[in-house]
Structure 1
């Protein structure tokens, strides 16, 4: 995890123009036919995730987990990406580089989603559910319940579930109720009269979120150690108990997915935290985007629901199974069957982490998660909080998780008299409420909390410790590609750098000054920063490689990221390919660039890696005529990251550390032939497999084997 640091006096500074040259791309590179649609590309990522659930070489419960991930991803896609397209349609937002109208994109989204949903439920009904049952993990359908199971489930329903339900009959005095985003509901068809003589027709039963969506049956009742039932099945089976004296002619589960993108006019907001609290109250009832309903629901009821939610006919998905299939993840969490899951592993620990300041002062330290433990970052904060020579700590927090040890160390540091400043990004999507609570707790402990910059999410990952050493102050820095979250550090691939480099630490100090003190943007020595220098810095380096190729020199770019859609970057990559630059892109999710277009992107290859860990690292490598540059970043090559967020891109200066980044984060991924998917020019992905005589190679598996032992 460590490597000797080259003395600062021997390091050459990177030569990059102060401002990029004008975009040399010809008008032909703006042709919409050269660009894939971001939303459709992002949607297709979920087919690659679902393929993991269909892969018989993966442990069975892990396949179930991948199925649930594909379902949860689809929820978020409609909450954010599809909702963004609908917003563009309503407000006539300019067309993206691909030239597709919002209406066209929405139509294609619904068509492609129908294919994905059919594949998800086929995987569940025909593959995973039977395979799990064969392995002794049963999710019991209503028609399979025996008498003893039924008795226990009915008693459970009457004692634990019925008391918290409030069915609502629909009539002029009881209009259609508000339906919470992604909540489980039943529409019930009734016949007969109620206690007041009212004729039954339709009723709505909403399942409160306090109820578990998966119920585990006791072994003494079911006979199996791992037997489960969906709450939706219990509601459908025993719903007549809610309507005594009436006959239930049909009960159909449904779920609506709503827009969850919070839009604040920050220029008009005096207190961002208060405004965000108000917005969160209504988030669950924003515009509907999708309706999921039982496959056997009569058409008139579906039509009525679509009218109520103001949805077009193609926004309904008839479901052959539970509408909340992602909730079966509780089976994965509750079943202790190690043979059905990936083998556990212990991340490599950093030797001598009990003296973090000495270790970092000696040499730069690279942490490659999850293969390297996140512990050194926690230890640095813990030791900084207790060290009497530490004067100040500054940190950005985007997502941290509940009960984060990082927060505990920051609180303790403030109580120990350190000057602690934390930039909490309140607008971290779906973590807004948690971050509001985090900010309150830090402020109560005496931490100075900053809510970032108006109009720009603070997505940078930075930690700065200022320590008095003799007669001088020295800064210690951690910068990373991922969040300060101990949980995701074991589930995501990310890179982090611990350094005491004077230039980098000075740059980080300047960025914190900008965020917290409204300081002017100054030219940084080493670090590229969005929204000021990163966009131009990336373009300059791509164009520099093109210039080398034009001059007949070797030129190459390798870049790894989560997504790519920034049009100027794509055009620069096209122009570099035309100049002869060999370009390899490892893009996990959405990619709007079309590789392999004759005369345009012949020299560009794009691959996506899907495996045990979520690929999250951002690494950019430029050959630079024999003086290669290696960069890690918090930012993808997306418009929002490069132009509308506070992000950082930091150089790996130590040659040995840079070599390790290239080997572990780039080259092994380019050699992957088991978890890699290659993007074709038509936008389709093809799973790669070992060629004849070629040994199989998984980047993640090889890193686990070689680094963790």
Structure 2
């Protein structure tokens, strides 16, 4: 049996503040019944700079990844989806080391160590990260080997190890190796004229120990076999070889079995897989770049060969070879991870969508559409001119956003289209529509953020494609990533020019829209569309900050307005007026925003935070955050929407949707948008959806005052409440 996460406790051990959930009668009742008299008696004495009030951001990110790994043990989740969660943990950890750990190591290497609000130095943080990561990676392989693989075998999905190969499998493997693998491999013998090769980031490699002397008299005893990325890491055994079920062998098993064939006349004493993770962050100095696209292309080549940050070696590798690899990459034992299985688990993603086993996957669903889009009116501009349309993906379809752009591309009355692009995907319908619009003579302007991490290369390619079609392509603003999600369409209607806009919390990526939760607003509101036009003007041209009527935007007005809104709730609580704050974001790390929330809590403001990933705030601290709860929802879909709710003394509740998390980079170093919802209908709708998340007792984790998390589970006669499933059942139905 797998041990539970040591950071978890039972629900009964939760502090009272973290255990609160909205009443069944709804959020408004919750606002009135939650006590305002929680004001800290010693709040004036609390030093909000105390490091114990904060969690280190990288340690908090690691805790999120552990919550993801926990889903692999959830029996209520289909088996292949549980495997997917385990692989997502592996993929997340790769990026964590490539970016987060690499960043801490850089601070140390360049003597730029600084302590954040939590008080930890980079050296201290790396030591804690190493302890947790070693424990959880070992646990990951234990879950894979002892839980998931045996369960998959019962479902006749097998990964057959060498010791279980039948004679037929061995014959097939030998033929496959000779025909498909051996011709592509390039083993490298190590000697003074063949130094240790420069290995690509996260590539699969083998260190081979040899006995004997080759044709030239060389006897170094060591060789490296890099496995080309073109080779699949798992290979399906043909049904005629093994008739029962779906059966695979690992590429590593094939290479191990036939390593002798690669070194003729020599004896292979051992062959062991390993993988090196490198620093994959890009470093561009804005002051020294005169052509961002050209500079970025140069950096992308170097990303594959950044400084080493982690070494994974199969645990059967002899100690002297492990030590040799550690020295070769100038790493320490702290950065070494011995693993009980394949070193590149993410390649197993190809198995998780097996068409032969639909019962082991989440059931498919058809995204819903709001009632207006089910009418006989096919002109989307006519619909939007009557009322704002709000969509919540993936429960509701992303197609109306694409259709809006497609119609604009063909509509002879549309004169111009402006759009931001951060992540769009390799085969993007959005980009297809923009290309068509440009070819149809529309004035198309695309603000493309080519520095979107790990999408730089694809964004450079789509920029070239749009330019070839005649679109104007802008790479945003040096020093500020353009993370805003907005589209503006200018259309002639009679004697007037009318603007239509799309604003969202997520990227223009159809694939993500099926997996991430995000809001989309389609609007023709004059003031909001004018604000969007002004922001595009700032990005494309030059000029001073323009005054906006409704739109908040970073790095100019967003932080200040949010602090003002929090301060208003604080003052309302101090005056014994109703107050309430609900914030739903991916990450909360900004110390100034955290301090503002602490002050609001000290005044007695009930604050509920729904934070998927990093959260440096600690709830439930007496005299500091006793009225704050923090929960993280981990489910079928990646929670990605950003929503800010302020009660405003019940006089005029306000809800904002945004592209921005509450992080320093989003509020100070990115171009972000934040837009208000208007009208009771939309405000009440999103408020109820927030309430759904706050009531979740099956997919939610609550944070304790020490920064650890506890999985919530229903107790006694309490109804099971799965927020994402509830939204699926509500929003994917036709009648709404």
What is the aligned residue count?
Answer: 685
Q: Could you say which residue in structure 2 is the equivalent of 1:633?
A: 658
Within 5 A, what are the aligned runs for 1:179-578? 179-349=199-369, 350-352=373-375, 354-578=378-602
The answer to whether the 8 Å contact 2:84/2:349 transfers is: yes
CA distance in structure 2 between the aligned counterparts of 1:233 and 1:204, rounded to whole angstroms: 16
The alpha carbon displacement at 1:354 in A equals 2.4
Q: 1:399 to 1:25 in 2, by over 3 A?
A: farther
Distance apart, 1:333 and its partner CA = 3.0
SS of the counterpart of 2:576? Answer: coil
Shift of 1:224: 2.8
1:401-422 deviation line (CA, Å, top 9, x unaligned): 1111111110111111110000
Match status 1:658 vs 2:683: yes
| Among candidates 102, 112, 117, match of residue 97 of structure 1 | 117
State the partner residue of 1:149. 169
Mapped contact 1:218–1:225 kept (Cα < 8 A): no
What RMSD, in angstroms, separates the aligned Cα atoms of the two structures? 1.2
Structure-2-length-normalised TM-score: 0.92
1:54 aligns with 2:73: yes
Deviation, structure 1 residue 25: 9.2
TM-score, scaled to structure 1:
0.95
Mapped partners of 1:670, 1:245: distance in 2: 67
Q: Paired residue for 2:98, among 75, 79, 83?
A: 79
How many Å separate the matches in 1 of 2:490 and 2:481? Answer: 25
Shift of 1:27: 7.6
Post-superposition Cα deviations, 1:131-186, rounded to whole Å, max 9, x if no partner, equal 00110111111211111111101111111011011111111111110011110000
Question: Contact 1:577/1:583 (CA < 8 Å) preserved in 2?
Answer: yes
Deviation at 1:392, TM superposition (A): 0.5
Q: 2:668 aligns with which of 638, 643, 648?
A: 643
| 3-state DSSP of counterpart to 2:312 | strand
Cα offset, 1:246, TM superposition: 0.6
Provide the rounded CA distance (Å) in 2 between the counterparts of 1:25 and 1:611: 40
Shift of 1:234: 1.3
Partner Cα distance (2:172, 2:633) in 1: 45
Distance in 1, Cα, partners of 2:169 & 2:431: 46
Given the superposition, is the C-alpha separation of residues 703 and 475 from structure 1 closer, same or farther in structure 2, using an over 3 Å criterion? same
| Residue 600, structure 1, aligned to residue 624, structure 2 | yes
CA distance in 1, matches of 2:593, 2:505: 20
> Which one has more relative contact order, counting CA pairs under 8 Å at least 6 apart?
2
User: Post-superposition, which runs of at least 4 consecutive aligned residues in structure 1 deviate over 6 A?
Assistant: 24-27
Is contact 2:315-2:340 (8 Å) kept? yes
1:162 to 178, 182, 187: 182
Matched, 1:138 2:158: yes
- Quote the Cα distance in structure 1 between the aligned partners of 2:90 and 2:466: 35
Q: Is the 8 A contact 1:577 1:602 kept in 2?
A: yes
Q: Deviations over 1:571-608 (max 9, x none)?
A: 00000000000000000001000100111000000000
- 2:81 and 2:402 map into 1 onto residues whose CA distance is 29
- The correspondence for 2:645, drawn from 621, 629, 635, is 621
Distance 1:188 1:25, change over 3 A: farther
Q: What is the SS of the residue equivalent to 2:241? A: helix
How far has the Cα of 1:394 moved from its partner?
0.3
Unaligned runs of 5+ in 1: 1-23
The structural deviation recorded for 1:498 is: 0.5
**For residues 373-400 of structure 1, what are the alpha-carbon distances to aligned partners after superposition, in whole Å with 9 as ceiling and x for unaligned?**
0010011001101111111100000011
Give structure 2 stretches of 5+ with no counterpart: 1-42
The answer (yes or no) to whether the contact 1:25–1:572 under 8 Å persists in 2 is: no
* Residue in structure 1 matching 2:59, options 36, 40, 60: 40
- Distance in structure 2 (CA, Å) of the matches to 1:600 and 1:521: 36
Partner secondary structure for residue 222 of structure 1: coil
Q: Who is 2:732 aligned against?
A: 708
Please give the residue correspondences for 1:657-696 in structure 2 after superposition, counting only pairs within 5 Å. Answer: 657-664=682-689, 666-696=690-720
Structure 1 residue 429: deviation in Å? 0.4
Aligned counterparts of 2:443 and 2:680: Cα–Cα separation in 1: 34
Instruction: Please list the CA deviations of residues 336-372 of structure 1 after superposition, one character each: whole Å capped at 9, or x if unmatched.
Output: 3111111000001332472110110000100100010
Task: Answer with 347-356 or 390-399: which moved more.
Answer: 347-356
Query: 1:65-111 CA distances to partner (integer Å, 9 max, x unpaired)?
Result: 11111110000110111111112222314321111000011111111
Deviation of residue 240 (structure 1)?
A: 1.1
- Decide which moves more: 334-343 or 123-132: 334-343
1:226–1:335: 8 Å Cα contact kept in structure 2?
no
Shift of 1:334: 4.1
Please state if 1:699 is matched with 2:719. no
Cα distance 1:253–1:335, how it changes in 2: closer, same or farther (>3 A)? farther
Q: Is the 8 A contact 1:121 1:320 kept in 2?
A: yes
Asked whether the equivalents of residues 399 and 483 of structure 1 are also in contact (C-alpha less than 8 Å), the reply is yes
Shift of the alpha carbon at 1:519?
2.5
